[in-house]
């Protein structure tokens, strides 16, 4: 007797509308559990996988919303008919309709066709929100809203740049260029520049300050580009390159990158040392060091020793106490100088987190200083804009370590053949500002240890 098999009904779930996906992206990003690029990768996978053009549009909308979060929130509240209240990120990330509306306002105009092809309803909602928002002025909005900054951050930056604050805020909202460092172990700057121009078909310029830096026009994908794959160039912001120039590492020396992270400055230090001597790359988080061996191999570096530290007091550091020629402390910080690349950062920090970072920075630089030999040098650097993490930490270290004498950063930069070195400093310190120098915001102090 033949068996009869009943066919099971198949469930077909409709794809999530693009605008709902967009709102989810913003909600997840504002939880600050992972950076925006990780949120994009995790959210736009599996059943939510979308085409490349729509994916790019969603990414642009997310970064656009983060860069203009207070302005978009103000306009959205006005369109709701109420009196705008201060932006509360914790409340916003739990409000799905609000996040969808903000992402609709941030949707890039040139990506409207891809949205319409994917979902006509989402396209209509975006067009309606954007048309209505054009009538909403920011003239009566609070200063922090007009600047696109958290309220707590405005007076701190105002105290440092004064009337330049609108220029700084505008620079922080603008997307960053792609900067490259030429690896002198494998290529000359002119050689690398010519190779990139041929491969990319666009103009590649030199950076105005970093001697071995190149700048690409707009967003550029380097995967598959021969000059990148062969290790001729590495992605590194011009400001980061200037920190390495300040260290002044030389052939045959012993050098420590105390907070190496993913190793961008480690690679640059190794090239400055011409792959000689001994270069140590330390970090307390193992995953940050995972990609470094492959990057070292591509760059042609063999003199690097990597090590995960328990913390800044790791007993293994005693082996190097008083023996190191140069120590770089690229300290953990709020990262507010890199907002062009990480526009979520202003919203994940507050005065309490700034104070916590400053306390940690003081502990780290004091621990790293023990490694410096008499006559050797110590560089403390951050990618923060805030005095609490920069000048205040440097001043506290100087006050408690009389055997370390501050060295003028301008002299060190000039010795590294950095042009216009005097324009890059404030007092004895390196001070880079996005609106003045066109790179990420950086601070650095240099000391020499006396006997």
Handedness of CA 137, 142, 143, 147 (dihedral sign): negative
Q: How many CA atoms lie within 13 A of 366 on its CB side?
A: 16
CA neighbours closer than 13 Å in the CB half-sphere of residue 158: 10
Quote the strand ranges of 19-162, DSSP E: none
* Tokens describing residue 158: 């105002």
| Integer Cα distance of 40 and 54 in angstroms | 12
Q: Residue 311, annotated ligand binder?
A: yes
259 is catalytic: no
Residue count (the chain): 451
CA angle at 156 for the pair 146 and 144, rounded to the nearest 5°: 15
- How many CA atoms lie within 13 Å of 446's alpha carbon, on the beta-carbon side? 26
Q: Is 314 marked as a binding-site residue?
A: no
For residue 179, give the 3-state DSSP assignment: strand
Pairing assessment for the beta strands 404-407 and 442-449 based on DSSP bridges: antiparallel
Ramachandran region, residue 12 (left: φ > 0; alpha: ψ -120 to 50; beta: rest) = beta
Q: Are 36 and 102 in contact (CB under 8 A)?
A: no
- Give me the catalytic one of 99, 259, 333, 383: 383
Half-sphere exposure of 325 (CA within 13 A, CB side): 15
Given a contact cutoff of 8 angstroms between Cβ atoms, the answer to whether 258 and 329 are in contact is yes
DSSP track, 399-419:
HH-TTEEEE-HHHHHHHTT-T
Q: What is the H or E stretch that residue 257 is in?
A: strand 254-257
Radius of gyration of the chain (CA): 25
Residue 392 assigned as binding residue: no
178: DSSP letter: E
450 burial type by CB count under 10 A (0-12 exposed, 13-18 middle, 19+ buried):
exposed
Residues annotated as catalytic are 383
Task: Name the binding residues for S-adenosyl-L-methionine.
Answer: 283, 311, 330
Task: Name the binding residues.
Answer: 283, 311, 330
């Amino acid at each position: 007797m033949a068996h009869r098999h009943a066919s099971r009904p198949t469930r077909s779930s409709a794809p999530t509308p693009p605008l709902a996906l967009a709102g989810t992206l913003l909600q997840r990003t504002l939880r600050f559990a992972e950076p925006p690029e990780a949120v994009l990768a995790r959210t736009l996978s599996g059943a939510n996988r979308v085409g490349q053009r729509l994916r790019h549009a969603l990414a642009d909308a997310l970064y656009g919303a983060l860069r203009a979060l207070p302005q978009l929130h103000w306009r959205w509240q006005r369109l709701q008919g109420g009196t705008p209240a201060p932006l509360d990120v914790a409340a916003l990330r739990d409000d799905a309709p609000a996040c969808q509306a903000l992402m609709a306002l941030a949707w890039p105009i040139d990506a409207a066709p891809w949205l319409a092809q994917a979902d006509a309803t989402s396209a209509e909602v975006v067009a309606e929100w954007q048309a209505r928002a054009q009538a909403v002025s920011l003239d009566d909005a609070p200063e922090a809203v007009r600047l696109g900054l958290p309220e707590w951050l405005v007076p701190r930056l105002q105290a440092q740049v004064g009337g330049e604050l609108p220029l700084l805020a505008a620079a922080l909202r603008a997307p960053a260029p792609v900067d490259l460092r030429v690896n002198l172990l494998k290529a000359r700057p002119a050689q690398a520049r010519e190779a990139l121009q041929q491969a990319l078909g666009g103009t590649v310029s030199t950076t105005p300050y970093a001697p071995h830096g190149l700048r690409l026009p707009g967003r550029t994908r380097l995967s598959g580009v021969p000059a990148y794959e062969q290790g001729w160039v590495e992605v590194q912001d011009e400001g980061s390159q200037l920190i390495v120039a300040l260290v002044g590492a030389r052939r045959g020396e012993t050098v420590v990158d105390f907070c190496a992270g993913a190793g961008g400055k480690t690679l640059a230090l190794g090239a400055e040392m011409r792959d000689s001597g001994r270069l140590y790359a330390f970090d307390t988080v193992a995953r940050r060091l995972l990609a470094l061996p492959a990057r070292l191999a591509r760059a042609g570096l063999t003199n690097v020793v990597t090590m995960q530290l328990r913390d800044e007091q790791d007993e293994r550091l005693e082996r190097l106490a008083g023996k190191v020629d140069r120590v770089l402390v690229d300290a953990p910080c709020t990262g507010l100088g890199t907002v062009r690349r990480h526009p979520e950062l202003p919203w994940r920090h507050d005065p309490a987190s700034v104070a916590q970072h400053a306390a940690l920075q003081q502990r780290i630089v004091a621990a790293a200083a023990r490694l410096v030999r008499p006559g050797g040098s110590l560089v403390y650097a951050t990618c923060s804009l805030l005095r609490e993490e920069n000048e205040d930490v440097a001043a506290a270290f100087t006050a408690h370590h009389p055997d370390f004498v501050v060295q003028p950063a301008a002299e060190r930069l000039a010795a590294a053949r950095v042009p216009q070195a005097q324009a890059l400093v404030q007092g004895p310190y390196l001070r880079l500002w996005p609106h003045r120098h066109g790179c990420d915001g950086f601070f650095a102090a240099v000391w020499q240890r006396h006997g």
